[in-house]
Chain A
Amino acid sequence: MGWIGDTVDSIKSIQVRQLLTQGVSLGMIVTSALIIWKALMCFTGSESPVVVVLSGSMEPGFKRGDILFLHMSNDPIRTGEIVVFNVDGREIPIVHRVIKVHERQETEEVEVLTKGDNNYGDDRLLYAQGQLWLQRHHIMGRAVGFLPYVGWVTIIMTEKPIIKVFSAFVDGPSLSLVTVDDEN
């Protein structure tokens, strides 16, 4: 086929300067993705403004491969909100719904219990040993928006890292997505 011949010819005629230019453009793509990511963090007030759903614990609402947009504000946490939280000792955040809230009178301390819509029991099994409630500092954001299927790109890129490398050289602008995963 014609395009295989073209590709072989272009590899044969690579010069150092071209290679360096490609290296710099790759660096530019990565840094602009980082800038967008940090700007989103600033804008939404959350440490990870976009998460990918990795498990089926919130089905049928959120399936594996969906993307959630998060926002964090100082508003009090109330039942029904879908929150993203980190359990001490686990690195992957979890996205579940708040089912119980107990907020103290004077201080703003709050104790919260969460549960995945599709799970039978609440999340006490997922919390750290001996932990019965989540506090405000565990919670990273509330889910406010949702896009279906888009997260599969990230799932494929993380599970087969070779695709990430390949795509940066071939198709940089359209495929440099940076998102964070979520589990359970």
Chain B
Amino acid sequence: MHSFWLRANAVLTFSVIILAFTCAMASVSDCFNSPSPSAQIQITNINWFQKQRNGNEEVSLAMNITADLQSLFTWNTKQVFVFVAAEYKTPKNAVNQVSLWDAIIPAKEQSKFRVQTVNKYRFIDQGSNLRGKDLNLTLHWHVMPKAGMMFADKLVIPGYRLPKEYR
């Protein structure tokens, strides 16, 4: 009853159980973190605003994004995926969310940042509803842990408006 394989089996099973328990505890420790991130987004320029041949409108804009996401990091955080999405309604679509820019923040030191950028992904509507459209620019963050449950949240910044005319 004490062969090599049985002992190896016992050690392996025990270590797997302990590891699973440690990962669960690591994940639970994330619940005790109450984050308070802050952010500001400014649209500095509408570079161009055109209607494509297939009838869909497209906007290219430049933004200043300032954020402080330090409070999101715990010892169990591997990285924070942050992105800015434009959200708006149209007569055809109740919800439109278009991601304009994203970044991966691997460590707490880089989570307080200021970025000036053009939209990384094309902002194309399904149709031509964007003239004079009111938008929310929402900063979303997705915390990816070293082990355990991932969680995501967002900060909605309303009050942006696209120009009434093409340019």
Write the residues of chain A forming the contact surface with B, with a CB cutoff of 8 angstroms: 3, 6, 60-62, 76, 78-82, 97, 99-105, 110-111, 115, 117, 122, 143-148, 170-171, 173-174
Closest to A175 in B: B12
Known contacts: A60-B106, A99-B121. The answer to whether A105 contacts B9 by CB under 8 A is no
Output the least CB separation between A60 and chain B (Å): 6
B150 touches A101 (CB 8 A): no
- Give chain B residues whose Cβ lies under 8 Å from the Cβ of A170: 5
A103 touches B93 (CB 8 A): yes
Closest to B149 in A: A145
A-B contact pairs, 16 of them (CB 8 A): A60-B106, A79-B98, A80-B142, A97-B81, A99-B102, A100-B121, A102-B95, A103-B96, A115-B121, A117-B102, A146-B148, A147-B147, A148-B146, A148-B147, A170-B5, A174-B16
Output the least CB separation between B78 and chain A (Å): 7
Closest to B141 in A: A80
B47 an interface residue at 8 Å Cβ cutoff?
no
Against A, the Cβ 8 Å flags (1 = close, 0 = not) of B131-144 are 00000000010101
A105 touches B92 (CB 8 A): yes
In-complex Cβ contact of B126 among A82, A102, A146 (8 A)? A102
Write the residues of chain B forming the contact surface with A, with a CB cutoff of 8 angstroms: 3-5, 9, 12-13, 16, 23, 27, 78-79, 81, 83, 85, 91-99, 102, 104, 106, 121, 126, 140, 142, 144-150, 152, 154
Most buried by A among B4, B13, B99, B142: B99
9 further A-B contacts with Cβ under 8 Å, apart from A102-B96, A103-B96, are A60-B79, A61-B104, A78-B95, A79-B85, A80-B99, A104-B93, A146-B145, A146-B150, A173-B13
- Give chain A residues whose Cβ lies under 8 Å from the Cβ of B9: 171, 173-174
9 smallest CB-CB distances across A and B, nearest first, come from A99-B99, A103-B95, A101-B97, A79-B97, A80-B140, A61-B144, A105-B94, A174-B13, A145-B149
Closest to A107 in B: B94
- Give chain A residues whose Cβ lies under 8 Å from the Cβ of B94: 103-105
* CA–CA, A144 and B30, complex, Å: 14
B92 touches A146 (CB 8 A): no
B96 touches A101 (CB 8 A): yes
B96 touches A171 (CB 8 A): no
A3 touches B140 (CB 8 A): no
- Give chain A residues whose Cβ lies under 8 Å from the Cβ of B146: 148
Output the least CB separation between B66 and chain A (Å): 20
- Give chain B residues whose Cβ lies under 8 Å from the Cβ of A97: 81, 142
* CA–CA, A111 and B144, complex, Å: 25
In-complex Cβ contact of B150 among A99, A110, A117, A144 (8 A)? A144
* CA–CA, A101 and B140, complex, Å: 14
Output the least CB separation between A77 and chain B (Å): 10
- Give chain B residues whose Cβ lies under 8 Å from the Cβ of A111: 126
B81 touches A61 (CB 8 A): yes
Most buried by B among A3, A82, A146: A146
- Give chain A residues whose Cβ lies under 8 Å from the Cβ of B152: 80-81
- Give chain B residues whose Cβ lies under 8 Å from the Cβ of A101: 95-97
* CA–CA, A99 and B3, complex, Å: 55
